[in-house]
């Protein structure tokens, strides 16, 4: 891909203040994209945006439809369009067996990881449809394929992201709008702060490459999925598990 691959395009990155979202924002910015960071951490999002060219930040709660809808309107007001959306906002939540899992915690994780994905996709599709072009990448997880013990809410929510992506991709397949997702193994981000060390050790033990995912590795694959070169594949699931996934 060229250094000007994303020129004159606007990319919305949820959870873009840090972690995979920030890495993707930087990668797309290098390719000339205008960046809109949607994140709950307004201060960190603003600092990240200030370190990029042609970037703005909005405080957004992806679990709240009104918050997402308002951010979409502000982004279009700032940049005129939304051409790319990378939905990276998500939480791991606590670790516990199903019979002990807090009911409110389960609902909170699904609200952010799955309902939030729906809200963001719903908000950006109309402008993409109107423009006849769009690229959407939803961040799922290898846990959504295989299920991690003591992480039922996270695993279920990410399995839902995979199913949702396949559904929307098929809905829009007749247009130049690609909707795909990636299924990363764990990367060392702030999401580790939400996990027990035993769970972190478990995830590492399942990765044949015997290391965690590097953020730059994730950003490169996602950048391709956001590009014009990704003109055929849609409703796809791209593995980033270091050999863990069996399908």
pLDDT digits (tens, 9 = 90+) for 92-107: 999 999 999 999 999 9
Q: Which of 72-86, 172-186, 190-204, 207-221 has the weakest average pLDDT?
A: 190-204
Instruction: Give pLDDT, residue 203.
Output: 80
Q: Range of 59's domain?
A: 10-238
For the chain, the domain total comes to: 1
Residue numbers annotated as active site: 154
CATH code assigned at 15: 3.40.50.720
Q: What span, in angstroms and rounded, lies between the C-alpha atoms of 195 and 193? A: 6
Q: Per the domain annotation, does 147 fall within a domain?
A: yes
Q: Indicate whether 219 belongs to any domain.
A: yes
Tell me whether residue 1 is in a domain: no
Tell me how far apart the alpha carbons of residues 115 and 85 are, in angstroms, rounded to a whole number: 16
- Whether 119 is covered by a domain: the verdict is yes
Residue with token string 């999925």: 225
The per-residue pLDDT for 28 is: 98
Query: pTM to 2 decimals?
Result: 0.94
Of 140, 139, 145, whose CA–CA distance to 243 is shortest? 145
Which long-range contacts (C-beta less than 8 Å, at least 24 apart) are formed by 225-229? 225/135, 225/137, 225/178, 225/180, 225/182, 226/6, 226/11, 226/24, 226/28, 226/84, 226/86, 226/135, 226/137, 227/1, 227/5, 227/6, 227/135, 228/5, 229/1
What distance in Å separates the CA atoms of residue 94 and residue 81, rounded to the nearest whole number?
Answer: 37
Closest CA to 80 of 36, 49, 117: 36
pLDDT value at residue 2: 58
Question: For the chain, what percent of residues have pLDDT higher than 90?
Answer: 86
Q: Is 5 a member of any domain?
A: no
């Amino acid at each position: 891909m060229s250094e000007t691959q994303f020129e004159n395009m606007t990319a919305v990155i949820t959870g873009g203040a840090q972690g995979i979202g920030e890495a993707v924002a930087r990668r797309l910015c290098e390719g000339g994209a205008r960046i809109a960071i949607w994140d709950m951490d307004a201060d960190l999002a603003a600092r990240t945006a200030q370190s990029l060219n042609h970037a703005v930040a909005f405080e957004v709660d992806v679990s709240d439809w009104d918050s997402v809808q308002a951010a979409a309107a502000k982004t279009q007001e700032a940049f005129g369009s939304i051409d790319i959306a990378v939905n990276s906002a998500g939480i791991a939540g606590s670790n516990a067996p199903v019979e002990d899992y807090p009911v409110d915690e389960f609902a909170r994780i699904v609200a952010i990881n799955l309902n939030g994905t729906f809200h963001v996709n719903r908000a950006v599709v109309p402008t993409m449809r109107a423009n006849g072009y769009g690229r959407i990448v939803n961040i799922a997880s290898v846990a959504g394929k295989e299920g991690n013990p003591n992480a039922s809410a996270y695993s279920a929510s990410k399995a839902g992201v995979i199913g949702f992506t396949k559904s929307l991709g098929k809905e829009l397949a007749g247009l130049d709008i690609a909707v795909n997702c990636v299924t990363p193994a764990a990367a060392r981000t702030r999401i580790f702060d939400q996990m027990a060390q035993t769970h972190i050790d478990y995830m590492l033990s399942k990765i044949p490459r015997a290391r965690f995912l590097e953020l730059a590795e994730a950003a490169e694959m996602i950048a391709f999925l956001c590009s014009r070169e990704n003109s055929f594949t849609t409703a796809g699931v791209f593995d980033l598990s270091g050999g863990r996934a069996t399908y």
